[in-house]
Structure 1
Amino acid sequence: MEALIGPFEVTFVQRALWGGVLVSLTCALAGTWVVLRGMAFFGEAVSHGMLPGVALASLLGGSVFVGGVLAAGAMAAGVTVLSRSPRLSRDTSIGLLFVGMLSVGVIVVSHSRSFAVDLTAFLFGDVLAVTSRDLVHLLLALAAVAIIALVGHRSFLALAFDPRKAHTLGLSPRWAHAALLTLVTLAVVASFHVVGTLLVFGMLIAPPATAVLWARTVPGIMLGSAVLGCAATYVGLLVSWHVGTAAGATITTTAVGFFLVSALAAHVRGSLTRRATAPTAPPVPAGPEKEAARTERIPAP
């Protein structure tokens, strides 16, 4: 038991655990809609599109969090505007802004020779360096995401499964889509400091994708995603402590590992279910009886 509990008696590991739990809950609420709505590319683009804002904030001595919020907000607004063009698909708009924002961020970083450490933290995070102030920020972000998810649940549901029906229900799909982009953006910005931009995408996608394989309702997917995310945080920190691996990457790898195991189990379950429910053909008699049985099955002219 000491091996399972001992590491979490250390203060900074306790803060890392709480930070990971808050990130898991936030990503569960937003990631469920990302998976159901097919917005994985947008989530990845936002996580990388924050680089210009974070880089400028670091170089100017400002708040990295505020810089990330502004850059991610500009990314989401740009996607909303460009997606209205009938000649551009949503993926094309996201791809263009993704490349543009990332390129600007690299240009800003290239002008600083002392930005290597901060850039590494931006990409891969530092969950073991979470402070009490970071936990407060994560808690506030979780509250905001929960409010948006609760208020927009009906609209998000109609948008994810039948956008045309949203018009008949008077739910305004355009505003629902904008609110959904805001939800995902807030979750990504709030989580990147803990697990990094390259890894927040895994926490945003892997637990909800795992829960989708088993749950049948949206609340069930959110609950399952939250549980899986928290479990991945605990197991990842535990493995990182004993093996000496990067904590953030280990947490995300654990979450992806849960998905792979669950996908395999779901495939096996599906195969067994199909075999059990497959109709069994009646035995065909041999010899003269076989020919008689075949003749009986031929319809009369």
Structure 2
Amino acid sequence: MPWFTDPFSLEFVQRALLGGVLVAVLCAVAGTWVIVRGMAFLGEALAHGMLPGVALATVLGLPVLLGAAVSAVVMSFGIGVLQRRARLSYDTSIGMLFVGMLALGVIVISHAGSFATDATAILFGDILAVGTGDLVVLVVATAVGVASAAFFHRSLVALAIDERVARVLRLRPRVAQTVLVGLVTLAVVASYQAVGSLLVVGLLVAPAVAARQWTERIPTTMALAAVIGSAAVCAGLLVSWHAATAAGATIAATAIAAAGVSWVLRAGIDTVRRRLVAPDLVPA
């Protein structure tokens, strides 16, 4: 099958595939909690909130991943401060910082001179440019994310059920909330290189949404989401290679398509099952 083997015979495509799979695993772990807690808006806000840090790092000649991390951490900290000190709701705090950070990033980009190429990479990523150093960062980030999710699993489950229950059980809901925000931040920053700030939410949310159609338990959802996300990376790279499309955008679109197909299949199976069961319920 040359159509399949030819692209992956190249070293830079192999690195892109490995990097994408690592991102898929990390996003599956964080994305499952995003779906369970209904926090997709936080993932989107953090993805856009990285823009000023990435733009400043690019202008100053610093590592863009460092700028993205600092910017995302600042935004996460700001959300917590606005909630506690200004007594704003969670969505309001995110919305205010989301717009503010995005505006600041656009200001930095517009003030810089020749920024068109870099802006494209910031917004849509460049997974084919993933290098050995990027893979090392992704391995560490994925290991930290998986370990954190496993260590705080009971606290995160209790927080998802009811914060008061978590408090009664002494599972420290505030710590669990901080860990959850940190996990989403880690996933968003690590995924930036692969799919960019605009498309990272697709890889964070879509595989978990697809997996949730077939699973109930959280660990099972994470595992299936990792498989679906990895498959989306592989399929997206193949499609982008043969169709000459942007790799990051194609991967994100493939992941979203997988979520749509999963939903249609689940709905179809449920409909057929109801129709098969319904005649048995009618009295003779």
Could you tell me which amino acid in structure 2 is paired with residue 266 of structure 1? R
Aligned to 2:129: 129
Aligned to 2:283: 282
User: How far is the alpha carbon of 1:183 from its aligned partner?
Assistant: 0.6
User: How far is the alpha carbon of 1:229 from its aligned partner?
Assistant: 0.6
- State how far apart, in whole Å, the 1-side matches of 2:105 and 2:25 are: 29
**Deviation by residue 1:196-253 (Cα, 9 ceiling, x = unmatched):** 0111110000000100010121110000000001100111111111111111111111
- State how far apart, in whole Å, the 2-side matches of 1:211 and 1:266 are: 11
User: How far is the alpha carbon of 1:68 from its aligned partner?
Assistant: 0.8
- Which aligned pairs between 1:218-297 and structure 2 lie closer than 5 A? 218-278=218-278, 280-282=281-283
SS of the aligned residue for 2:25 comes to: helix
Aligned to 1:13: 13
**Deviation by residue 1:77-111 (Cα, 9 ceiling, x = unmatched):** 11112223685221111000000011111111111
Residue 25 of structure 2 is aligned to residue 25 of structure 1: yes
CA 1:60–1:161: 2 relative to 1, 3 Å: same
Aligned to 1:289: none
Aligned to 2:170: 170
- State how far apart, in whole Å, the 2-side matches of 1:85 and 1:269 are: 49
Could you tell me which amino acid in structure 2 is paired with residue 172 of structure 1? R
Q: What 5-or-longer segments of structure 1 have no aligned partner?
A: 284-301
Structure of higher CA gyration radius: 1
Could you tell me which amino acid in structure 1 is paired with residue 249 of structure 2? A
- State how far apart, in whole Å, the 2-side matches of 1:162 and 1:270 are: 30
- Which aligned pairs between 1:153-168 and structure 2 lie closer than 5 A? 153-168=153-168
- State how far apart, in whole Å, the 1-side matches of 2:212 and 2:144 are: 24
Q: What 5-or-longer segments of structure 2 have no aligned partner?
A: none
Aligned to 2:108: 108
User: How far is the alpha carbon of 1:255 from its aligned partner?
Assistant: 0.7
Aligned to 1:292: none
SS of the aligned residue for 2:84 comes to: coil
Could you tell me which amino acid in structure 2 is paired with residue 249 of structure 1? A
The two structures, once aligned, show a CA RMSD in angstroms of 1.3
CA 1:275–1:86: 2 relative to 1, 3 Å: farther
Could you tell me which amino acid in structure 2 is paired with residue 211 of structure 1? A
SS of the aligned residue for 1:196 comes to: helix
TM-score, length-normalised on structure 1?
Answer: 0.91
- State how far apart, in whole Å, the 1-side matches of 2:234 and 2:39 are: 27
- State how far apart, in whole Å, the 1-side matches of 2:59 and 2:242 are: 36
Aligned to 1:200: 200
Range with bigger deviation, 79-88 or 192-201: 79-88
- State how far apart, in whole Å, the 1-side matches of 2:283 and 2:39 are: 48
Aligned to 1:293: none
Could you tell me which amino acid in structure 1 is paired with residue 269 of structure 2? R
- State how far apart, in whole Å, the 1-side matches of 2:201 and 2:236 are: 16
Range with bigger deviation, 102-111 or 83-92: 83-92
- State how far apart, in whole Å, the 1-side matches of 2:118 and 2:86 are: 40
Aligned to 1:184: 184
**Deviation by residue 1:27-80 (Cα, 9 ceiling, x = unmatched):** 011111011111100000000001111111111111211111111001111111
